[in-house]
Amino acid sequence: MAEARAGLLTRFRASAHAFAHGVHPPESKELTAALPIRRMPYPDEVVLPVRQHAGKPARVIVRKGAHVERGDVVAEADGFVSSPVHASASGRVVDVALWPHPDGSMCTAVRIAVDRWSAQIARPRVVPEWDGLTRAAVVRAVQDAGVVGLGGAAFPTHVKLVPPADAAIDTLVVNGAECEPYLTTDHRIMVEYPRRVLFGVRIMMHALGAKRCVIGVERNKPDAIAALRAANGNGFRNDDVEILPLTVKYPQGAEKMLLKSVLGREVASGQLPASVGAIVQNVGSIATIAEVFETGLPLVERIVTVSGHGVRRPANLIVPVGTKVGDLLAHCGGLTDDAAEVLFGGPMMGTAVSTLDAPILKGTTGVVVLTHDEVRDQAALPCIHCGRCLDACPMFLNPSLLGDLARAGRHDEMAAEHLSDCMLCGSCSYVCPSNIPLAQLFAASKSALRRRVMAGTGA
């Protein structure tokens, strides 16, 4: 009886730190979860698109033929919701022109031929004393460093440090869930750089005036949980920072899902986390903020997981921003004979790239190479109205209805059915027995609605 009661209590505690609905795709993290982070050698060329963040693209300030040092600004922020782009390597600007972007479009980019014999040491920089700075000064330092969300959305981090005036922020929630299959970037950061993560937490709490921080980590990363707890009890005040194990479920790392799991707070439709007194930040971005205030160096490189059965040597690598994916894969031994598709990001929310010339961006969490067996074509069949997508959707939408509307081009009705609340997690597509590409339909519909708004024809 006692054992049964203990098991019931354990299950209750686990369910208390979870959200409704969601799915359980294969994790596929074993390829890289135990691999330590290593540094990739500098490629011969880096390509830096001006559009690497949510908001307005950066404005190029260098010309062809100019020499730049690692960390120099090559494109400045064009407004508050914008982020500068820095040279990730010392070299010569060989061109400023359109270049293939990972999203499939063409984008203005700065191409830099890397100095082959350069030590790649950045210019000396003043490292600010964060605890003596005002919020405005911290915000300026973070924006000047070009820090954006490194979990994939690439929202400028400094904007999150300036919540609405009427929002009373009491809690910083750090996203260490990393629920996307294959990816282990955040996992390795927490294992190898736990003190840096906690230092970044202190800086953000100082800037936000938050009195509490909760770091949510899925239970399939016990070494990360242990590392953070050990660091938190060794030199840091651990009374206001909690490391909370979470149920392993996708999409646990989505902002609204994480807030429900960690704090039990629900964000209303159309609202942001600040409306419930919290700010959510990815663990990689937190560590990057710490590095800015440790070294003064802006965001010029990031940790990328290279994984999948279609690449010969999976790895977790520190990669200069702007490295072409072809050069990255070559460093990892190249593609296997049965490689079929290269994804930026994971298989649930990632996008397939059409050219290996596409560069690694600030928000590129990983590069996953799938084989032919994993991406074999499956014909989409008519919807059988089984309801599985309704049970899977963590936002409690009706993907079946939205899918019918999308295929009919009835975008106004989709907006009325709360399409804006869809975060394109892909849970509906994953469970659909008819193989209907629901998430892709919704992404295209969101783009169509945005274009109509921009054209002034209404929503």
Residue 420, Cβ neighbours under 10 Å: how many?
13
Q: How many residues appear in the chain?
A: 459
pLDDT band for position 248 (50/70/90)?
very high
What is the spatial distance between Cα 29 and Cα 308, in angstroms, rounded to a whole number? 9
| pLDDT recorded at residue 233 | 76
213 has binding-site annotation: no
Under a CB-based contact definition with an 8 Å cutoff, are residues 184 and 283 in contact? no
pTM value > 0.75: yes
Q: Are residues 171 and 25 in the same domain?
A: yes
pLDDT higher than 60, residue 2: no
| pLDDT recorded at residue 262 | 93
Under a CB-based contact definition with an 8 Å cutoff, are residues 324 and 43 in contact? yes
pLDDT band for position 234 (50/70/90)?
low
| pLDDT recorded at residue 125 | 76
Decide if 211 is inside a domain. yes
pLDDT, one tens digit per residue, over 110-158 is: 999 999 888 888 887 777 788 888 889 999 999 999 999 998 788 999 9
Q: In this predicted model, which residue has the larger pLDDT, 378 or 301? A: 301
| Backbone phi, psi, residue 136, to 5° | -60, -40
| pLDDT recorded at residue 55 | 87
Q: Are residues 172 and 23 in the same domain?
A: yes
Residue the block writes with tokens 């191409």: 111
Residue 369, classified by CB atoms within 10 Å of its CB into exposed (0-12), middle (13-18) or buried (19+), is: buried
Closest CA to 441 of 413, 412, 415, 404: 404
Domain boundary among 257, 272, 295: 295
pLDDT, one tens digit per residue, over 301-332 is: 999 999 999 999 999 999 999 999 999 999 99
What residues have CB less than 8 Å from 409, skipping those under 6 apart?
none
- Tokens standing for residue 50: 């001006």
Decide if 334 is inside a domain. no
| pLDDT recorded at residue 19 | 85
Q: Are residues 287 and 397 in the same domain?
A: no
Decide if 333 is inside a domain. no
Closest CA to 32 of 303, 254, 430: 303
Domain that holds residue 409: 388-454
Domain boundary among 278, 295, 312: 295
pLDDT band for position 236 (50/70/90)?
low
| pLDDT recorded at residue 451 | 84
Helices assigned H by DSSP within 145-254: 157-160, 185-192, 194-208, 222-232
pLDDT higher than 80, residue 459: no
Residue 5, Cβ neighbours under 10 Å: how many?
9
Closest CA to 291 of 300, 282, 279: 300
Q: State which H helix or E strand residue 434 sits in.
A: none
pLDDT band for position 16 (50/70/90)?
low
432 has binding-site annotation: yes
332 has binding-site annotation: no
Q: By percentage, how much of the chain surpasses pLDDT 70?
A: 94
Q: State which H helix or E strand residue 121 sits in.
A: none
| Distances 458 to 106, 271, 411 between C-alpha atoms, Å | 26, 21, 11
Q: Are residues 280 and 406 in the same domain?
A: no
383 has binding-site annotation: yes
Q: Are residues 27 and 176 in the same domain?
A: yes
Q: By percentage, how much of the chain surpasses pLDDT 90?
A: 79
Domain boundary among 268, 295, 322: 295
What is the spatial distance between Cα 64 and Cα 67, in angstroms, rounded to a whole number? 9
Decide if 358 is inside a domain. no
pLDDT higher than 50, residue 13: no
Rounded mean pLDDT of 447-458?
Answer: 76
Decide if 351 is inside a domain. no
Instruction: Identify residue 259 by its one-letter amino acid code.
Output: L
pLDDT, one tens digit per residue, over 410-424 is: 999 999 999 999 999
Decide if 39 is inside a domain. no
Instruction: Identify residue 344 by its one-letter amino acid code.
Output: F
Decide if 146 is inside a domain. yes
pLDDT higher than 60, residue 337: yes
Q: In this predicted model, which residue has the larger pLDDT, 437 or 153? A: 437
Decide if 203 is inside a domain. yes
Number of domains into which the chain is organized: 2
pLDDT higher than 50, residue 11: no
- Tokens standing for residue 79: 């407004």
Tell me which of 3-12, 155-164, 270-279 is least confident.
3-12
428 has binding-site annotation: yes
pLDDT higher than 60, residue 458: no
- Tokens standing for residue 23: 């799915």
- Tokens standing for residue 31: 């390829």
pLDDT band for position 17 (50/70/90)?
low
pLDDT, one tens digit per residue, over 385-395 is: 999 999 999 99
pLDDT, one tens digit per residue, over 276-286 is: 999 999 999 99
pLDDT, one tens digit per residue, over 70-92 is: 999 999 999 999 999 999 999 99
pLDDT, one tens digit per residue, over 201-221 is: 999 999 999 999 999 999 999
What is the spatial distance between Cα 393 and Cα 399, in angstroms, rounded to a whole number? 8
